[in-house]
Amino acid sequence: MALNRKIRMGMVGGGRGAFIGAVHRMAAALDGKIELVAGAFSADAKKSKLSGEDLFLDSSRVYESYQQMAEQEAALAEDKRIDFVSIVARNDLHFEVAKTFLEAGFNVICEKPLAYSLAQGKELKAIVEKTGRVFGLTHNYTGYPMVKEAKAMVAAGTLGKILKIVAEYPQGYAITALKDEEDGAISNWRMDPNVSGVSNCIGDIGSHAENLGRYITGLEIDELAAELSTFIPGRPLDDDGNMLIRYKSGAKGVLYASQISTGDENNLNIRIYGTEASLEWHQEHPNELILKFAEQPRQIHRRGNVYNGEVCGANTRLPFGHPEAFIEAFANVYLGVAEAMADQIQGKYPRAEGYDFPTVADGVQGMAFIEAAVQSSQNNAAWTKLDL
Amino acid sequence: MALNRKIRMGMVGGGRGAFIGAVHRMAAALDGKIELVAGAFSADAKKSKLSGEDLFLDSSRVYESYQQMAEQEAALAEDKRIDFVSIVARNDLHFEVAKTFLEAGFNVICEKPLAYSLAQGKELKAIVEKTGRVFGLTHNYTGYPMVKEAKAMVAAGTLGKILKIVAEYPQGYAITALKDEEDGAISNWRMDPNVSGVSNCIGDIGSHAENLGRYITGLEIDELAAELSTFIPGRPLDDDGNMLIRYKSGAKGVLYASQISTGDENNLNIRIYGTEASLEWHQEHPNELILKFAEQPRQIHRRGNVYNGEVCGANTRLPFGHPEAFIEAFANVYLGVAEAMADQIQGKYPRAEGYDFPTVADGVQGMAFIEAAVQSSQNNAAWTKLDL
Amino acid sequence: MALNRKIRMGMVGGGRGAFIGAVHRMAAALDGKIELVAGAFSADAKKSKLSGEDLFLDSSRVYESYQQMAEQEAALAEDKRIDFVSIVARNDLHFEVAKTFLEAGFNVICEKPLAYSLAQGKELKAIVEKTGRVFGLTHNYTGYPMVKEAKAMVAAGTLGKILKIVAEYPQGYAITALKDEEDGAISNWRMDPNVSGVSNCIGDIGSHAENLGRYITGLEIDELAAELSTFIPGRPLDDDGNMLIRYKSGAKGVLYASQISTGDENNLNIRIYGTEASLEWHQEHPNELILKFAEQPRQIHRRGNVYNGEVCGANTRLPFGHPEAFIEAFANVYLGVAEAMADQIQGKYPRAEGYDFPTVADGVQGMAFIEAAVQSSQNNAAWTKLDL
Amino acid sequence: MALNRKIRMGMVGGGRGAFIGAVHRMAAALDGKIELVAGAFSADAKKSKLSGEDLFLDSSRVYESYQQMAEQEAALAEDKRIDFVSIVARNDLHFEVAKTFLEAGFNVICEKPLAYSLAQGKELKAIVEKTGRVFGLTHNYTGYPMVKEAKAMVAAGTLGKILKIVAEYPQGYAITALKDEEDGAISNWRMDPNVSGVSNCIGDIGSHAENLGRYITGLEIDELAAELSTFIPGRPLDDDGNMLIRYKSGAKGVLYASQISTGDENNLNIRIYGTEASLEWHQEHPNELILKFAEQPRQIHRRGNVYNGEVCGANTRLPFGHPEAFIEAFANVYLGVAEAMADQIQGKYPRAEGYDFPTVADGVQGMAFIEAAVQSSQNNAAWTKLDL
């Protein structure tokens, strides 16, 4: 990324106390290539102001609303105004915030899910295409070096023809709500259909599992049969979901996600089985990739080694044995988008060979997946195609 | 087991080269409570004879057929003839061999699946009930001490109400058939509908996963939606199967089994999620049981410790850290049945408090599970109830 | 082992309640090649009798003393009397029991350590050589298939030149004596110098670690610098020991053993580092062997695979993924000795190519190791050579 | 850290291609509390300039030498000049660079080892004390949240009295030098006594293992018996070292470090055994801490949980299951020092309750450890006390 300055970032959402906003800021800061210069951190203007102070921002660039921010930043000199906005507000705001900034001429990095609904997602995709702006979606698990290595192995044919994908994403945090419904913020807005959309569990984490499988293998889901459940009484959305998948290639899949899997933390795992070899990756031990052949010793590929492929290596900061983790993977998504933005600034966007970060198209795919899962479940797990 | 002599065992099947027959013999021999004294080891009389010699048996008790064996053993003096027969012949023979010995007055230990079909299984159950003989089925994974500990934990309420069961059983051995269809015996008869019955993969190993979940939790399957596949071209039966499960209690389940999961060996795993805690057990590391609470350190319960429950302890031979494994678990099934047979010999069968080994009823349940899975898959994964 | 009958075993020690005697009996019984026919199970004649009843032995062959047993068994017809005696009595009896049976013409399998002292051990070795009997020592950890695979890898040069061996054997069981000195039998006799010899911890388990390293690599210890400690107050022997090792080849070593490592169970681990590759084996997960090259993916070699070497395969009973463990490894030692005894019975002992089981020479080596460690520790960890 | 601005950092060393400088910059940048504003990145003025451009620094603050930097920064207005310098130059420069900046009135964060020799280290400690500046040493492994949790457990008495510490730090990277002495930079300067000091392996990584044990337990080494080796021919310093340790408390220790442990990466592990419980921590899986009691299930404490102690929690950025790793731990050291510097800026330094980061005193301790190990090894592993 041969740019002679840092890329300037603004943020919408992520005020005091918000988890994911802080992650985005650390990811952006890590490599010294991006600087946070502006923000509308909360719908509450006072909270936005205080958050800006926490972050040592120039108070003139801490805004009372995202609309104000888009307008005033657009009015700044080109060498001062933000290059992109990072959207870490709640799901129901993604669409309108992204639209506002795209149409004001800014690039966007947006938290997933892409939007409140598939319809919104499709509309947003059209806006991205019309405006020609760079749009990155933080399906952050694709940022892990060993996930990129897995993708490279599949692309190189190491696994042969893919027969089966098993993706699982059990979490257990919601179970404590059974005892203390006051446990608060995290569980609650995700459980509000007006904020989250049609799904909580599949929308929030099932979509990561879907994206991860697609990122690594490139396989497209043809149809799925899903059973969503709500185990915490009184909640309007799913907190657990299991499904069978048929891929267009003929491969089969099992995917499940859960927030009531007591004692599981962020236990995203994927196993991909091919005719020649299979692989496993476990998010909680992200520096290893397990490769299994039928009649050879099991192989543990570890980050930072000379035998890692080029893309894996390029997304690695530390030598072997010095573990990297969640924030570094997140930062890789930011770096990937920054690469495209640097090209844009230098008039070289888009590159012919493309980029390696999740896009608005991935977001639309994710929304279609979520809505198909909900629809299937409402139809007694009937096979349901993705509306793409 | 306060019997003043060893229990006498005969065997049907398990001749030279057979895998599972040798396992049954080691399991029976391990504890010095059972002795092998007779056998019809093969439909080929000469091979049966040679197998008897390998085992240092009295040649007068190595038979040319199981029918001959049943007849001649029944004619021996009470203090000489076998107490039970171990049936390790192929699936399609289980029913008739078991029937023959039960009606000749012998107890039976039978390999799973119970029979070639659910109908046969139900008939066999009626015969067992009518004859009053002891009948054990070698769902051997229930013999592991830490599986018994898991069952005890669920029974004690440690997990609270069970919400979800995830049972997986991937193997990869069949994938080599893609390269060398001459690889032979194991793959082949299991793939022959005339021998195996309606299913290969779900019948052979999926039924173990089902049985394990039921053994630990006691939950009954209400209905299932299954997708069975045949990935190895030219084979008439399934080599992979995935399913969603609804339990009568309201719990949900995911169960899958596979023989084409390249590089997986005998990777049976089960996770059981409850409102208070969850547990995991991995067959390839059987001495550990993982117990997870929502807000406590994860616990690893290990075999051979003072904190293990009574049943776990009674099924343990070695101190902690001295690992036990597959054969010892298998031997626990034999010991469990031997306990009942010792009671019977001493006129105390059945005990009011029951026994701890898989029975003909488990076998019928297993056959109903297999047939429901096949039927569901034939109906495009429609929800299908077990015919019990 | 092409013998047309079972090999007949007698046992000295191992009466009711003894742990290791039961392990020996299971190991001997597992494969159906050895039958227990006689015993002097306890110095207490009544207890010996009751133990014989537990084992369904002919009462005429349950003896009041080992001397009686040796004499009367020797007087039996050749086709009836025992082929060998298994000695599972306490350390201080090994020498005289072994001597008695060897001189009476019997083969011997003996628990380790070989004897009460190095001097006794050397004398016993001379007796074995003079009598020409088969003598096996149950350094059982060498019976694990993946340990044999490790040995084969070293022999094949896979590791290059060996630079370093790290062998560790922490147990924690003795720590509970701090709270309850009544905890009893296991801790106590091992802590009695009149029974155990000059060392408890290094003698009991440190010697296993030493033997394992030597079995795999063939390297000979030149000298060692040891620090032995007694952490449990009031005990006369060591319960912990650490040492530096210099091998004759120039390799270096670290070896430690402990009985006060709270919460460790039987945590024997070995790592062997060579110029080309290194390997790790962990007794509590014995079916795996980890092989590490400098610039290749880590390899996990697993028991039961086609890529395992010949000796590993020959010491394996079950297919991959069906775990084997402690008893099976122990049984491999018995099978190894049985092989030699079968040769002897058939007049073919010893084979030119040798056998694969621990011998009296290993026992002498172990005694020299133990005494050198004690002497070094008494001399403030001065470098001390083995007296061989 | 309630400061209303970022803390300003300068860097000495860490130019293009340097590994550890980049780590320091990422660690400093991660939390948005520290900004890099100046540097003398290389003794080569041109390389320093280019490195400054890579980092988007104001060219007027990229210096040709550290002396120039100290002088000119000191001349800047108080609200502009750096608050501290981060020293990532080679070992032999630590002392003079640190001295220069301390005496010019700046705070210091310094890579370990503290200095080229113990004598230098002691002199530097005196300078720190005289100047009253804040001095942090990047023994970064103490920054891991679960290491801090381990320290808290020991302090709370959870382990009882500590009996034994086993610290191991095998790496294998140097072994490739056997094949290709051109492998370069990393191996080479560390192997140069004029740069590294009296030791390579013990100095570079053994000192981390020593520091980690002391950080967690507070135990002081009384004396040690060490055996250092050089396995790579032609090298003047050690590439492997093993030692026995006696702590002043009566506890015993084993510590080893290696750079020729083929295939090991950065395999720092520590086990601490107490009368009540023991714990294990593995740097390559840093989010877990294993706690073992004698007669209770093993406990796995995981970062980010409500049951973690206060200090652990305060050093954590992400929720459970979202792994943190090396950079985040490194950043915790920076945050710890920043806390002290913020106090200083606000006139509140030092706090009565102290701080939680490695200091110059830790550095002196480390130098004494290194020199004692070298001296012991030169004296045939004689017991050697630390010169403190």
CB C190 within 8 A of CB C349: no
Estimate to the nearest angstrom the gap between the alpha carbon of C145 and the chain centroid: 15
Closest CA to D383 of D253, D260, D273, D271: D253
> Which one of D238, D240, D273 would you mutate to disrupt binding with C, by most C Cβ within 10 Å of its Cβ?
D273
Q: Residues of D with CB below 8 A from A318's CB?
A: 23, 326-327
In the predicted model, is pLDDT for residue A338 greater than 70?
yes
Three-state secondary-structure class, residue D368:
helix
Q: Which residue has the tokens 């089925």?
A: B137
Q: Residues of B with CB below 8 A from D285's CB?
A: none
Q: Residues of B with CB below 8 A from A376's CB?
A: none
Contact A299 C295 (CB under 8 A): no
pLDDT category of residue B187 using cuts at 50, 70 and 90:
low
Number of Cβ within a 10 Å radius of residue D53:
12
- The DSSP line for A272-285 is EEESSEEEEEETTS
Find the DSSP H helices in chain A: 19-29, 45-54, 66-75, 91-103, 118-131, 145-155, 185-190, 193-196, 201, 207-217, 310-314, 326-345, 360-378
Mean pLDDT for chain B overall: 96
Contact C254 D254 (CB under 8 A): yes
State whether residue A324 sits within 8 Å of chain D by CB. Answer: yes
Closest CA to C264 of C233, C245, C239: C239
Q: Give the tokens for residue C318.
A: 């079950």
Q: Give the tokens for residue A186.
A: 């995290």
Q: CA torsion C29→C33→C37→C39, rounded to 10°?
A: -60
Q: Are strands A269-274 and A162-170 parallel, antiparallel or unpaired?
A: antiparallel
> Which one of A58, A305, A318 would you mutate to disrupt binding with D, by most D Cβ within 10 Å of its Cβ?
A318
Instruction: Name all chains with 3 or more CB-CB pairs below 8 Å to chain D.
Output: A, B, C
Mean pLDDT for chain A overall: 96
Per-residue pLDDT at C17: 84
Contact D318 A326 (CB under 8 A): yes
Percent above pLDDT 70 for chain D = 97
**How far is the C-alpha of D293 from the C-alpha of C261, rounded, in Å?**
10
Percent above pLDDT 90 for chain D = 93
Q: Residues of A with CB below 8 A from C301's CB?
A: 297-298
CB C99 within 8 A of CB C89: no
Per-residue pLDDT at D178: 78
Half-sphere exposure of A99 (CA within 13 A, CB side): 12
pLDDT category of residue D180 using cuts at 50, 70 and 90:
low
Q: Which residue has the tokens 């698990």?
A: A141
> Which one of B295, B298, B305, B320 would you mutate to disrupt binding with D, by most D Cβ within 10 Å of its Cβ?
B298
- pLDDT 10s digits, D182-208: 544 455 677 888 888 999 999 999 999
Q: Minimal Cα distance from B23: which residue of C?
A: C318
**How far is the C-alpha of C258 from the C-alpha of D278, rounded, in Å?**
13
**How far is the C-alpha of C241 from the C-alpha of B131, rounded, in Å?**
62
Contact B240 A172 (CB under 8 A): no
Of D56, D284, D321, the CB nearest to A6: D56
Interface A-D: count of C-beta contacts within 8 A: 112
In the predicted model, is pLDDT for residue A68 greater than 50?
yes
The reply to whether omega before B236 is within 30° of 0 (cis) is no
**How far is the C-alpha of B316 from the C-alpha of D16, rounded, in Å?**
61
In the predicted model, is pLDDT for residue D1 greater than 80?
no
Q: Residues of B with CB below 8 A from D298's CB?
A: 299-302
Contact A381 B225 (CB under 8 A): yes
Per-residue pLDDT at D177: 82
State whether residue C274 sits within 8 Å of chain D by CB. Answer: yes
Per-residue pLDDT at B359: 98
Three-state secondary-structure class, residue D204:
helix
Contact D55 A32 (CB under 8 A): yes
**How far is the C-alpha of C159 from the C-alpha of C165, rounded, in Å?**
12
Per-residue pLDDT at D185: 45
Contact D299 B301 (CB under 8 A): no
Contact D164 C274 (CB under 8 A): no
Q: Residues of A with CB below 8 A from D286's CB?
A: 323
Q: Are strands B135-137 and D240-247 parallel, antiparallel or unpaired?
A: unpaired
State whether residue C30 sits within 8 Å of chain B by CB. Answer: yes
175-194 in A: which are within 8 Å (CB) of B?
A: 175-176, 178
Number of Cβ within a 10 Å radius of residue B130:
10
3-state secondary structure B235-287: CCCCCEEEEEEEECCCCEEEEEEECCCCCCCCCCEEEEEECCEEEEEECCCCC
Q: Give the tokens for residue A101.
A: 């900034």
Direct distance between the N- and C-terminal alpha carbons of chain A, in angstroms, rounded to an integer: 34
Direct distance between the N- and C-terminal alpha carbons of chain B, in angstroms, rounded to an integer: 34
Of A4, A5, A322, the CB nearest to D266: A322
**Residues 6 or more apart whose Cβ sits within 8 Å of residue C299:** A297, A298, A299, A300, C290, C291, C292, C293
Of B291, B297, B307, the CB nearest to D291: B297
Per-residue pLDDT at D18: 85
Q: Give the tokens for residue A188.
A: 């609650």
Range D320-324 average pLDDT: 98
Contact C297 A295 (CB under 8 A): no
Q: Residues of C with CB below 8 A from A302's CB?
A: 297-298
- The DSSP line for C259-297 is S--TT--S--EEEEEESSEEEEEETTSTTEEEEEETTS-
State whether residue B302 sits within 8 Å of chain D by CB. Answer: yes
> Which parts of B333-387 are beta strand (E)?
384-385
State whether residue B59 sits within 8 Å of chain C by CB. Answer: no
**Residues 6 or more apart whose Cβ sits within 8 Å of residue B60:** none
> What value, to the nearest 5°, has the Cα angle with vertex B345 and ends B339 and B349?
65
Contact C254 D242 (CB under 8 A): yes
Three-state secondary-structure class, residue D331:
helix
The shares of helix, strand and coil residues in chain C, as percent rounded to the nearest 5, are 40, 20, 40
Mean pLDDT for chain D overall: 96
The reply to whether omega before D297 is within 30° of 0 (cis) is no
pLDDT category of residue A185 using cuts at 50, 70 and 90:
very low
3-state secondary structure C152-197: HHHHCCCCCCEEEEEEEEECCHHHHHHCCHHHCHHHHHHCCHHHHC
Q: Are strands C288-293 and C135-137 parallel, antiparallel or unpaired?
A: unpaired
pLDDT, greater one: A18 or D94: D94
> What value, to the nearest 5°, has the Cα angle with vertex A147 and ends A143 and A151?
115
Contact C302 A297 (CB under 8 A): yes
- pLDDT 10s digits, B27-73: 999 999 999 999 999 999 999 999 999 999 999 999 999 999 999 99
Per-residue pLDDT at A2: 77
Q: Which residue has the tokens 């069906």?
A: C322
3-state secondary structure B11-30: EECCCCCCHHHHHHHHHHHC
- pLDDT 10s digits, B113-166: 999 999 999 999 999 999 999 999 999 999 999 999 999 999 999 999 999 999
Q: Residues of A with CB below 8 A from D171's CB?
A: 321
In the predicted model, is pLDDT for residue A16 greater than 70?
yes
Range D124-135 average pLDDT: 98
Closest CA to A369 of A351, A385, A345, A355: A385
Range A73-93 average pLDDT: 97
Per-residue pLDDT at D49: 96
State whether residue A224 sits within 8 Å of chain B by CB. Answer: no
Say what the ipTM of the complex is: 0.96
State whether residue A172 sits within 8 Å of chain D by CB. Answer: no
In the predicted model, is pLDDT for residue A1 greater than 70?
no
Contact A276 B262 (CB under 8 A): yes
**How far is the C-alpha of B27 from the C-alpha of C29, rounded, in Å?**
10
User: What stretches in chain C show pLDDT beneath 50?
Assistant: 183-185
- Helix axis angle, A91-103 to A118-131, nearest 10°: 20
**D72 Ramachandran zone, left/alpha/beta (phi>0; psi -120 to 50):** alpha
The reply to whether omega before C113 is within 30° of 0 (cis) is yes
Per-residue pLDDT at C185: 45
Kind and range of the H or E element at D167?
Answer: strand D162-170
**How far is the C-alpha of B203 from the C-alpha of C333, rounded, in Å?**
37
